[in-house]
Amino acid sequence: MENIYRVNMTDMTVKQEDVPEEWALLGGRGLTSTIVAAEVLPTCHPLGPNNKLVFAPGILTGTPSVQSGRLSAGGKSPLTEGINESNSGGTSAQLLARLGIKALIIEGQPKGDTWFNLHVNKDGIAIREETELVGKNNFAVIEAVESRLGKSTGILTIGIAGELRMLSANISVKDPDSKIRSHGRGGLGAVMGSKKIKFITIDAEGAPGVKLADPDKFKVAAKTFAKALLDHPVSGQALPTYGTNVLVNIINEAGGLPTRNFTSGQYAAHDKISGETMRDTIVARGGKPKHGCHAGCIIQCSQVYPDRNGGYLSSGFEYETIWGLGADCCIDDLDIIAKADNIMDDIGVDSIETAVMFGVAMEAGIIPFGDGAGVLRLLTDEIGKGTPLGRILGNGAGSVGRAYGITRVPIVKNQSIPAYDPRAIKGIGVTYATSTMGADHTAGYAIATNILNCGGYLDPLKKEGQVELSRNLQIATTAIDSTGMCIFVAFPALDIPECLPALTDMIGARFGVAFAVDDFIALGKKILKLEHEFNIKAGFNKAHDRLPEFFTYESIAPHNAVWDFTDEEIDEFWNF
Ligand code: SF4
């Protein structure tokens, strides 16, 4: 029996509710966005009492399926001021699913300065005052909570950035190694901070687990699905070998690696920060070149990156972070980037927003391009201490651009554009422009078909077919984000015919219903449209579905490409 829990931080009450029938087949992004659209006033202040913070494990989370352990967090984003869903690995999703918690809705806001933690277990949810760990960063919180409650406890926490309600603040999730995964992008850590919740702990002792309506059918489909993941060259070979950072050399070669605050598409020192160099360094230092962010991950794109002495430096060291501080900020030293990644995990800021912000800050002259020591100093002494400059930096690239009068600020809906230049890879530009989340590569990863030849090939420098590609990918991704699967299942789903039907068969077998690929696509369309409608009610219009103007008049080497879509062409996106 699954339940919804509603925690009200205004009157300090907890209610257990039945799952409404119309939510029964939903999970992950499908459920968080449905709840946010139904219950959050679109025009509310994201940090005020009328916003809600919703957590939901995916439809398949807690089942024996590989790759299904992601947790969605949703609410109105303080960064974009539109709807937000952010999903993360770590251990919490599977624990919540095993406890039968379909969604946790946190609403209201306490008056006064008292902080709280929430403790979730089989008996319900307790709201407790918290004093000891307020003002502490994430690694200290995890260490202290594990010594209070034990290593098996799931933890969702905010660092100092969330406490100070910075717009780049993450909600951090403990992973199987007691390190950190993140609900990043969109600033939901600030929403958790606005509700004065420092951390949430989850104890699944005595949990009933997830029941399958048809275990035999589920088992057959799960086996087919897992085989497809291992058979595909991207999910079966490239990601486990080099992690997502396999992309540095590939995107550089394509001329789409934004460099020096988006002024070139290639970085001369790309080899020094590449996935190949990263793997060699990890192996030479005795680290882990592949690693899963939750139990049941068989792709294992993550890794543990050690320092020169073999001590821990970073994990989950992603291409987008390495690109941002590497090529975009011209820091050609993986050790410095790893150190910065570790600090960002600790204080709890999004590593894409923060890296792109540093590119803008370098252009503004706050520190020079290539100044790795300056980045570490600004992270610890300004953002980490919440100084006035630190708050400007911690509010992201748009904040720095406005404060310093910079025109080359790569943002859409106030969220930073990640690691693929839209002038040289046009499909991803359509996704940045139209995504309900602001610039977000994961919303419709057109790199798959523009660069990696997954799901066919579309010339990245030509406009033809890109709107349709991005639309199809965004619909499918919205549905994948609802399952609890990580986004990398999309590669085999695009290329191996048995993969997507096996995924939908698992959903059918989980609930004992007929659920086909058409139902999956219908789910993606419905949720994407609902998110778009929320954004329109929040005040967005077509003018918000645009890339920054500089992309139209500044060309980048080596292709000398500009962003050349007309408004009418982009607006075609929503015709479905
Ligand atoms: S492939 Fe990577 S992101 Fe996906 S579950 Fe595994 S470690 Fe996490």
Pocket lining: 301 vs ligand 1, CB cutoff 6 Å: yes
Give residue 1's pLDDT: 82
Q: Residue 572 burial (CB < 10 Å; 0-12/13-18/19+)? A: middle
Cα-Cα end-to-end distance for the chain: 36
Measured distance CA(168)–CA(71) in Å, rounded: 19
Task: Please name the residue that has the structure tokens 């419709």.
Answer: 444
Please give the number of the atom of ligand 1 that sits closest to the Cα of 302. 7
Pocket lining: 300 vs ligand 1, CB cutoff 6 Å: yes
Nearest CA to ligand 1 atom 2: 301
Q: Which residues pair with 302 in a beta bridge?
A: 291
Q: What is the CA radius of gyration of the chain?
A: 22
Pocket lining: 31 vs ligand 1, CB cutoff 6 Å: no
Measured distance CA(365)–CA(353) in Å, rounded: 18
Measured distance CA(225)–CA(301) in Å, rounded: 18
Pick from 435, 520, 515, 530: nearest CA to 476: 520
Nearest CA to ligand 1 atom 8: 293
Per-residue b/e over 60-97, b at no fewer than 16 CB within 10 Å?
bbbbebbbbbbbbbbbbbbbbbbbbbbbbbbbbbbbbb
Pocket lining: 55 vs ligand 1, CB cutoff 6 Å: no
Q: Best of 177, 245, 294, 299 to mutate for ligand 1, by most ligand atoms within 8 A of CB?
A: 299
**Would strands 411-412 and 312-315 be described as parallel, antiparallel, or unpaired?**
unpaired
CA of 534 to the centre of ligand 1 (A): 30
Alpha helix ranges (H) inside 211-324: 215-231, 233, 239-242, 247-253, 275-284, 319-323
CA of 177 to the centre of ligand 1 (A): 14
Q: Best of 70, 486, 489, 491 to mutate for ligand 1, by most ligand atoms within 8 A of CB?
A: 486
Pocket lining: 313 vs ligand 1, CB cutoff 6 Å: no
Nearest CA to ligand 1 atom 3: 486
Measured distance CA(549)–CA(238) in Å, rounded: 35
Task: Express each pLDDT in 425-461 by its tens digit.
Answer: 999 999 999 999 999 999 999 999 999 999 999 999 9
Measured distance CA(204)–CA(305) in Å, rounded: 30
Q: What are phi and psi of 483, to 5 degrees?
A: -85, -20
Q: Best of 241, 294, 315 to mutate for ligand 1, by most ligand atoms within 8 A of CB?
A: 294
By the 8 A CB rule, do 65 and 506 touch? yes
DSSP string, 17-29: EEPPGGGTT--HH
Q: Across the chain, how many H-helices and E-strands are there? A: 24, 17
Please give the number of the atom of ligand 1 that sits closest to the Cα of 181. 8
CA of 527 to the centre of ligand 1 (A): 24
**Would strands 115-121 and 197-202 be described as parallel, antiparallel, or unpaired?**
parallel
Measured distance CA(410)–CA(402) in Å, rounded: 12
Nearest CA to ligand 1 atom 4: 486
- This prediction has a pTM of 0.98
Q: Which regions in the chain score pLDDT beneath 50? A: none
Pocket lining: 178 vs ligand 1, CB cutoff 6 Å: no
CA of 484 to the centre of ligand 1 (A): 11
Q: Which amino acid is at 189?
A: G
By the 8 A CB rule, do 189 and 27 touch? no
Nearest CA to ligand 1 atom 5: 297
Pick from 189, 195, 5, 32: nearest CA to 108: 195
